[in-house]
């Protein structure tokens, strides 16, 4: 412990000595990780560089380097795990970012944590260190302070080291301190299970879609109506997940909302997906190809799956999570 505190002080002193250089826009996130954030979590006994040589399935820390598609970050920077099970995310920024005030980084982190059902996650540029309760459903309108349960700056690390070490060190997690901290904190107001929230949204779409199909397509049977509603929603969500997992071009579905007769264009997308994925989900159904569906319903569903309306990060959302039981 004494060595850790000494090394922490050295890290803090280094940052303090060169703070103007580190806070310049030229000092990037990659260097921040290597110079400070990696070393910080190594002080908490995490094998950030996998020096133990564990297989990818069991390494302590997974670095999920960002892949930018049309300006959209696709993965949290670090995933800290025990036995391959995620315990918390860390999103890294460069010190020129104002973590305490900027809405974007906080919303980004909270979307990942909420979608993956990780209870706590950390946002840091080393200069600032913020812990969020990621059980609370995020909104793009939230201030950076919403769901933030701990905040300190680099010059307070020594003072707050007991809390940080006792909550986020590898030993603390193995001994159950992390889980006890989560359970003990009475901060569950506003929390919600992502599965339940997402299913509520799907049920709303089902109801609205069923009404418009019944109204515009008088010859469709009850069976065909229910079948079509489920298939359309399943297909759209599958493709939206595929976008965030880089299997499809990001924004492909959103582009359809800029056109008229969306169902016609959507049917063509489904037909292409049938050839690409060769899965029963996109199997052609003649009666479905002939359905008339109002554009405003399809626009609402599709736009509800994108930022800023959507609180979910589909790159970490289970492919089958949205399916009703």
Sheet containing strand 61-63, edge to edge, reads 61-63, 78-82, 85-92, 120-124, 128-133, 148-153
CATH of domain 2-184: 3.90.1570
pTM over 0.75: no
Residue 48 has pLDDT above 60, yes or no: yes
Which pair of tokens denotes residue 163? 């809390």
Task: Give dist(CA 14, CA 121) in Å, integer.
Answer: 26
pLDDT tens string 60-70: 999 874 444 34
* Cis amide prior to 205 (ω within 30 degrees): no
pLDDT tens string 140-172: 889 999 999 999 999 999 999 999 999 999 999
pLDDT tens string 123-144: 999 999 999 999 999 988 899 9
Task: Give domain limits for the chain.
Answer: 2-184, 194-316
Return mean pLDDT, the chain: 87
Write the burial class of residue 35 (CB in 10 Å: 0-12 exposed, 13-18 middle, 19+ buried). Answer: middle
């Amino acid at each position: 412990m004494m060595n850790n505190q000494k090394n922490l002080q050295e890290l803090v002193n280094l940052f303090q000595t060169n703070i103007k250089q580190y806070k310049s826009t030229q000092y990037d996130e990659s260097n921040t990780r290597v110079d400070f954030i990696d070393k910080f979590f190594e002080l908490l006994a995490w094998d950030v560089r996998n020096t133990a040589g564990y297989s990818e399935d069991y390494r302590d820390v997974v670095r999920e380097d960002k892949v930018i598609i049309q300006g959209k970050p696709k993965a949290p920077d670090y995933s800290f795990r025990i036995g391959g099970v995620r315990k918390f995310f860390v999103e890294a920024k460069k010190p020129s970012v104002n973590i305490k005030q900027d809405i974007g980084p906080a919303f980004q982190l909270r979307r990942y944590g909420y979608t993956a059902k990780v209870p706590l996650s950390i946002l840091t540029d080393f200069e600032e260190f913020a812990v969020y309760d990621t059980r609370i459903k995020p909104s793009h309108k939230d201030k950076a302070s919403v769901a933030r349960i701990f905040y300190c700056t680099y010059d307070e690390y020594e003072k707050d080291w007991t809390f940080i070490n006792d909550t986020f060190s590898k030993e603390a997690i193995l001994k159950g301190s992390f889980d006890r901290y989560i359970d003990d904190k009475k901060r569950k107001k506003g929390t919600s299970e992502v599965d339940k929230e997402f299913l509520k949204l799907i049920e709303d779409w089902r109801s609205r879609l069923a009404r418009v199909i019944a109204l515009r397509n008088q010859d469709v049977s009850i069976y065909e109506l229910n079948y079509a509603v489920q298939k359309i929603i399943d297909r759209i969500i599958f493709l939206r997940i595929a976008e965030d997992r880089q299997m499809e071009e990001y924004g492909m579905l959103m582009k359809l909302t800029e056109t008229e007769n969306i169902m016609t264009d959507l049917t063509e997308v489904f037909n292409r997906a049938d050839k690409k994925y060769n899965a029963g989900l996109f199997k052609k159904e003649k009666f479905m190809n002939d359905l008339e569906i109002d554009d405003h319903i399809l626009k609402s569903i599709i736009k509800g799956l994108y930022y800023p309306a959507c609180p979910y990060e589909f790159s970490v959302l289970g492919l089958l999570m949205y399916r009703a039981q």
